[in-house]
Amino acid sequence: MNLDARVPSGPIDQKWSNAKFEMKLVNPANKRKYTVIVVGSGLAGGAAAATLAELGYNVLCFCFQDSPRRAHSIAAQGGINAAKNYQNDGDSVYRLFYDTVKGGDFRSREANVHRLAEVSVNIIDQATAMGVPFAREYGGTLANRSFGGAQVSRTFYARGQTGQQLLIGVYAALSRQIAAGKVKMFNRTEMLDLVVADGRAQGIVVRDLVSGKIESYAGHAVVLASGGYGNVFYLSTNAMGSNVTASYRAYKRGAGFANPCYTQIHPTCIPVSGDYQSKLTLMSESLRNDGRVWVPKSADDVAAASKDPGSIAEDKRDYYLERKYPSFGNLCPRDIASRAAKEACDDGRGVGPGGRGVYLDFRDAIKRDGEDTIREKYGNLFDMYERITGENPYRVPMRIYPAVHYTMGGLWVDYQLQSTIPGLFVLGEANFSDHGANRLGASALMQGLADGYFVIPYTLGNYLAGVPAKSLASTGSADFKRCETEVNERVARLMNVKGKRSVDSFHKELGQIMWEKCGMARNKEGLEQALQEIPELRERFWKEVTVLGGRDTFNQSLEKAGRVADFLEFGEVMCRDALEREESAGGHFRTEHQTADGEAKRDDEKFCHAAVWEYRGDGETPARHVEPLTFENVKLATRSYK
């Protein structure tokens, strides 16, 4: 497997400029002769589709929702980082780069991260020009707030719905290109396979979710922006439809999958309330700017604290993040805050039903700033909390617990965002490159838009310049037909199991295994058990699952069945990756590898690399390859937020 990252030469702050100059161009008159397939319509995919169409390419864009505006980027609450230094508080491109590399626990690729920090400033300009109503100061300038893992205020936001506002900006640009005929949009259409011919990605096979029809589309290149795989855990903050299928199908066609074990568990989510639970709701990290996290100092006070938190005197509370990490306090990175919450609960000091919860308390902030100020900043989040729990967070502290939120792993890409399959590009959460082993808050929106608005328009041109316009594949060719037949057979197989159990029941069971054994803390024994249990569960799935309804019609059970079938294979790759990575880094915490005070212990000698998995056939163990990571600018050091 060729893992040449094609990182440009030169000093870190000139690499992107050099790369842009060295890239080949497609002349404007020729761009209209190329067709590009974009899978996904979130910040990465939507921005890519719109921007490529603006340049003159013909774009075919696919999403499984009923409108591109519903992609899961929409749910991002807190904000988007950019190194604007509007606050004059010491921010710079280099500092954002440094914070992101450090925040990722030194497991990302330096050159990609620096480029991300560089283009971050353009994103804010572009979004503002598109009419994104960011929060403003009274003088009319843009407002900022601070976020975890940073000591400067560089986060731009639109109350608690920054994701929706940025996505509407992207969707507006996309709508303009659809009207102009440059983008053909396929809503309620799901990619089920990638067509690779002559060693290049040349098209995709999709299912029209309304008619059930299986169809193929050809392109000179395929851009995947299909999001992350957090729903392998069943319960996560992801939307119900978020899935790994597009990425996993590409993996099975030869794309390397990098660091699947890197998953982000977000510290501030509303705890699970029962076995009927279908998803978990995030409470934005921005709340940690003013909320203080605590549990009782003594397990003896747990019952009283659960009943009436206000009855616990100040000296009996353990503000454990402030105690353990005095310089970052409640704003320490997500992986650290999550693990600390788990520790407190494992210690028997968790509050609420089942003892799986900690308090996020606004009492002091309300006393200091007044309820109106807090309402202005977080009103919609407080309302959301009250709607779900029936409790008023202005009076009673929020009860929160970590939940699966984001996946840093993804398809391996080089500096040009190309996967190991030529012509297959991967953007946003679906790729692996920028966040290392842990993503900092407000960086996902930044990366999605950086990839879609400012990176792919250059790197895709560089690729297409070497592909003859006349080489567009025919969907009637043998390669396409073979792929279509395989997809049809797979759909038929799912319909024909005709067992008794629902798809969801299997998904829940898989989620249980993943959360227990490949969740916030992992160890050899548990991972080995999971590697036994997942294939067994998969076998039962293919014997006992039932998919009712027809295949040539709208059928949500069938949609879910295909996605869960892929999760049942992918979960195994994740556990294998977690087992092989004998160190702790960011979101990947191996209990065997920790310092005396319980912090993650990296092993830079053996694991300062991205692990890239190559599919070798069903039932075969995938091959593990490595891309060594070199740190020429940020010195490899033990991450400290103390």
291 to 330, contacts with another protein by CB under 8 A? none
Show the binding pattern over residues 462-491: x = contacts another protein (CB under 8 A), - = does not.
------------------------------
Angle at Cα 453 formed by Cα 448 and Cα 454, nearest 5°? 105
505 touches another protein (CB under 8 A): yes
Under the criterion CB under 8 A, does residue 554 sit at the interface with another protein? Answer: yes
Cross-strand bridge partners of residue 585: 588
**Pattern of binders to another protein over 187-206, x per CB under 8 A?**
x-------------------
The verdict on 21 binding another protein (CB under 8 A) reads no
| CA 619, chain centre distance (Å) | 28
**Using the rule CB under 8 A, is 176 a contact of another protein?**
yes
Using rule CB under 8 A, residue 28 touches another protein: no
Strands 609-614 and 257-258: antiparallel
Decide if residue 338 touches another protein (CB under 8 A).
Answer: no
Q: Give residue 85's Cα distance to chain centre.
A: 26
Member of 298, 311, 532, 553 binding another protein (CB under 8 A)? 553
Q: What DSSP letter does each residue of 14-79 carry, written as one string?
A: GHHHHHHHHS----HHHHTT-EEEEE--SHHHHHHHHHHHHHT-EEEEE-SSSSGGGSGGGG--S-
Mind giving me the DSSP string for 361-401?
A: E-HHHHHHH-HHHHHHHHHHHHHHHHHHHS--TTTS-EEEE
User: Does 75 help bind another protein (rule: CB under 8 A)?
Assistant: yes
Structure tokens at 486: 């395989």
Distance, in Å, from the CA atom of 536 to the CA atom of 533, rounded to the nearest integer, reads: 5
Give just the sign of the alpha carbon dihedral 127, 132, 133, 134.
negative
Q: State the nearest-atom distance from the C-beta of 52 to another protein, in Å.
A: 10
Residue 425 in the binding site for another protein (CB under 8 A): no
Cβ proximity to another protein: between 5 and 50 the closer is 50
- Interacting residues with another protein between 274 and 293 (CB under 8 A): 274, 276-279, 281-282
With binding defined as CB under 8 A, does residue 557 bind another protein?
yes
26 binds another protein, rule: CB under 8 A: no
- Residue partners of 14: CB distance under 8 A and separation at least 6: none
Q: Is 334 a catalytic residue?
A: yes
The window from 62-70, 519-527, 564-572, 590-598 that contacts another protein (CB under 8 A) reads 62-70
Which residues, numbered 136-155, are part of the site for another protein (CB under 8 A)?
A: 136-142
Stretch that binds another protein, among 384-392, 483-491, 520-528, 568-576 (CB under 8 A): 384-392
The pairing of beta strand 424-426 with beta strand 221-224: parallel
Residue closer to another protein, measured from CB, 383 or 604: 383
Q: Which is nearer to another protein, 123 or 531 (CB)?
A: 123
Q: Least distance from C-beta 239 to another protein, angstroms?
A: 4
Q: Chain-centre distance of CA 208, in angstroms?
A: 25
Q: Shortest gap between Cβ of 491 and another protein (angstroms)? A: 17
> What span, in angstroms and rounded, lies between the C-alpha atoms of 369 and 365?
6
What size, in residues, is the chain? 642
**Residue (297 or 501) nearer to another protein, CB:** 501
384 binds another protein (CB under 8 A): yes
Of 334, 399, 439, 602, the catalytic one is 334
Q: Which residues are catalytic?
A: 334
